[in-house]
Structure 1
Amino acid sequence: MALRAWDTDRGWKAIQQLHLRASPALLRRVRALCASRSWRRRALGLHVASQLQQRRRTEGLSAPAYALDATQALLLAGLEDVHAEVVRAAVSGLGHRPHPDALASLVELAGHADSAMRWDVAVALGHYHGPIAIDALMRLAVDADPEVRDWATFGLGTQQTVDTPQVREVLWHNLGDADEDVRGEALVGLAARRDPRVVDQLLAQLGPDCLVYQLEAAEQVASPLLLPALHALADGLHDSERKGYWFGCLQSAIEACSEVR
């Protein structure tokens, strides 16, 4: 099914099911797929390898990775494949199963002509650390493609904790982005670094139409100056609106800004 329904919802669901069925026999099958002459089979093998999990013994606990070393080796080899879709599968997998030997190739692929490849790289690089990973994310955060900018800004602002003037400059630049999600991720990233300029931004943005981004940023920056705006938001809600994730974020922001620091 995963191969017949390639790159469809049915195909991805089949791959997700395979992730949960890790076994020596399945690993042998994955290795055979990765050695196939068909690029679709090679890509499928890497997509399966990237998230193979040991079978859960206890309900609710996350399952550890299955055959980590072996699957990382397959993914690293996939970076050298001649077909771009196979390389994309390897890049995606090395975000799920990071390996230091992948970083140089990921940084090089950050300049790929295909925005889909750059998007995969932006997602993966959030799981890598060090100056060259940060530099690549900063470049991708100002990419021509908004989806690439979105993920790179999230990786730079939230997944990474590095706080330098250069990182803040990129995040501040992205506060003016045309894309709403990019702006939101930049705001959260600056708030996580307690950039004092965020308070004025939030005072201008905290209103009935604000998103979770603004509430998360308010919680992160935790400034008492935001309390009047946050309480005004809460007071303006109907009873039916006092539930759900957005309302939970509002409550968390009020609690954080109310704490004496």
Structure 2
Amino acid sequence: MTDNKDKVHGKSFVIFGGDVQIINSAERMLSSAGATVVAITTGREGLSKVQSIHPDAIIIDDTVTDIEMDEIIATLQADESTKLIPLIMITSLRTSDDYKKLFLVGEQHYLVRTEFDAMTLVLLVESILRNKNNDGSTEVFDFSEEIAEEPHVDAVGAVRLLVVEDDPLLRNLLSIRLQKSGITHEFCHSGDKALEQIFEFKPTVVILDLMLPGKNGMDVLLDIRTNSSIKDLPVIIFSNKDDDAERMRAKSLKVDNFLVKATTDLSTLVSLILSYGK
């Protein structure tokens, strides 16, 4: 936790929303990491505080009742002094359409309420602050392209996707995209269970992270290629590990694609997945 405290120490945050337990938990964790935190239970007062102190990041719990979430986000985005401040939402929303509406008006990062814990929040904040662009903005996912495109029905119906990924934030984002595209999919959270789930789910293509709890992704790929009944199963490596040695080993194991998370948008990934259904 030391590195995360170093990133958060001395930073300022405005937290607001209706769930007092979550707000208090977030405030305690960030304060213990050396941050200055203003915690508020109403949306309008929260907006006022953001506009007056210009914090390093904003955290909003979507149970705020005195103002609609899309109005809060639109207000922040319309103000030149606040539109580049990173925004994290703690949300109960579940449908892809609800998420997409929020992303399109500028919501950048989120945690699902049922999976919330203060430590994860601090890790996310640390990551956001570390990846700020020079102009103060942070990288965001663009949903607009996917809204305009409808996947080919035949390709969608032919795809059964298994995603072997342990990162809950990425799983949430992928789930939204895959649901929108109509792709039948399941998630596997560890390398140790990947082969078992492949035989149970019978995917037509696998997305495989390399850094996994238990067996790593490269060993999972080796298991696939040395099992006669699934040795030809298409595998897409989707990982933050990007070095020549990993690529060479993956190539020797006949990986079908090797994509780096940091340089691949999710629309590109979905298009690649659908190509295996044609």
Q: Normalized against structure 2, the TM-score is what? A: 0.31
- Give the strand-richer structure, 1 or 2: 2
- Give the helix-richer structure, 1 or 2: 1
Q: Normalized against structure 1, the TM-score is what? A: 0.33
Greater RCO between the two (CA within 8 Å, min separation 6)? 2
